[in-house]
């Protein structure tokens, strides 16, 4: 007996529904056909073992469809308006869609508003930390955000916790050696310049600023419109992407003196260095920069390893900011943030 013909049926309107009914009415239809995929314009069923045609309509309407984008792809991010327009909700840790052009961001919002499909991206900023949801709650309940500042990169948090600690009993380390150790321990991207560029922090600032009514349209080019202080020495910027990560670290040694000067100047004032993201709503400034902080500041004393910390200054939280802190990177906590968003849907 020949094997059943495997069918993928796209379209469940008048003709499609009739076709499925006719297949199901055949005697011993499942010895002739194995229907593994049925799709309408907004939903689909996929079952490699075969779909029970007596209940396909119920299964097709059983629940919302969610696209979970776990990539860092610009190409996939550009499809979000298309997904949402088909009533597919989107959950993602991919920063690209929310931190690129304002045009794409507005297309995403418009498609979501038109169909009611949901968009959740908690893990784009702090992995599993409740950063985006906290900001949304503040704004939606009528609080006025005046300033947001934080250490938003787990990699840069680790680098400066090691390079410029609040207290240290051991001899100071050179900046290039800290970068080398961080790479060896898996804290950096394969090419550390990806982290030192500041682009990751700029993307996170873009995502947050667009949730603040006064700043929604402030960054037309997304993260490219953010004021970014790169930690890549100027003399290396023209060649940095043509050399390997290990070669970059070797060349970085030549600039240890420049970083040491910054660290010494801060230490003389009782300060440490931290790479922070700052959103000043009143001044309408959004920047990613290396800044000095008092050695008693929470950004100096509360962080360890690759922790993130973010402070929300608002009218309600005026005297003492609302602080969210914890592991802001890693597969486990990022996956938890995605899963939590799925539960919201």
| End-to-end Cα, the chain, rounded Å | 46
Measured distance CA(213)–CA(333) in Å, rounded: 29
Q: Is 47 helix (H, G, I), strand (E, B) or coil?
A: coil
Give the CA angle between residues 53, 55, 59 to the nearest 5°.
110
Give the CA angle between residues 205, 208, 157 to the nearest 5°.
45
Q: 271-280 and 145-151: which strand pairing?
A: antiparallel
Q: Which tokens belong to 174? A: 């050179």
Could you say which DSSP state residue 4 is in?
P
Q: Which tokens belong to 336? A: 């938890």
Which of 204, 221, 251, 284 does the annotation list as catalytic?
204
Q: Which long-range contacts (CB under 8 A, 24 or more apart) does 167-172 make?
A: 167/295, 172/260, 172/263
Question: Measuring CA to CA, which residue among 65, 100, 126 is closest to residue 222?
Answer: 100
Instruction: Using the structure block, give the residue that is written with the tokens 């979000």.
Output: 80
Q: 88-91 and 119-120: which strand pairing?
A: parallel
Helix H or strand E encompassing 226: none
Measured distance CA(223)–CA(220) in Å, rounded: 9
Measured distance CA(151)–CA(157) in Å, rounded: 6
- Whether 204 is catalytic is yes
Catalytic residues, by residue number, are 204
């Amino acid at each position: 007996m020949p094997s059943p013909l495997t069918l993928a049926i796209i379209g469940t309107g008048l003709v499609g529904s009739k076709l499925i009914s006719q297949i199901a009415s055949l005697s011993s239809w499942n010895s002739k056909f194995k229907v593994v995929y049925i799709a309408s314009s907004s939903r689909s069923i996929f079952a490699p073992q075969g779909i029970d045609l007596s209940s396909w309509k119920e299964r097709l309407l059983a629940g919302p469809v969610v696209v979970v984008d776990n990539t860092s792809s610009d190409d996939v991010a550009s499809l979000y308006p298309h997904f949402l327009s088909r009533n597919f909700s989107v959950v993602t840790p991919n920063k690209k869609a929310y931190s690129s052009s304002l045009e794409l961001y507005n297309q995403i919002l418009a498609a979501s508003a038109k169909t009611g499909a949901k968009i959740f991206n908690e893990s784009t900023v702090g992995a599993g930390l409740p950063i985006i949801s906290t900001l949304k709650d503040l704004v939606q309940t009528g609080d006025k955000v005046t300033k947001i500042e934080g250490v938003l990169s787990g990699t840069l948090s680790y680098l400066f916790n090691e390079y410029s600690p609040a207290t240290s009993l051991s001899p100071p380390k050179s900046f290039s050696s800290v970068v080398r150790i961080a790479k060896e321990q898996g804290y950096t991207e394969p090419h550390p310049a990806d982290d030192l560029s500041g682009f990751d922090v700029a993307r996170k600032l873009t995502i947050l600023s667009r949730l603040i009514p006064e700043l929604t349209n402030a960054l037309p080019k997304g993260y490219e419109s953010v004021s970014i202080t790169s930690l890549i020495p100027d003399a290396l910027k023209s060649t940095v992407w043509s050399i390997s990560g290990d070669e970059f670290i070797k060349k970085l040694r030549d600039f240890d003196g420049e970083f040491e000067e910054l660290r010494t100047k801060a230490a003389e004032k009782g300060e440490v260095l931290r790479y922070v993201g700052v959103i000043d709503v009143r001044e309408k400034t959004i920047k990613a920069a290396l800044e000095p902080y008092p050695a008693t500041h929470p950004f100096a004393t509360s962080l360890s390893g690759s922790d993130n910390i973010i402070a929300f200054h608002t009218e309600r939280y005026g005297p003492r900011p609302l602080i969210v802190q914890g592991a802001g990177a890693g597969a486990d906590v990022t996956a938890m943030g995605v899963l939590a968003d799925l539960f919201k849907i």
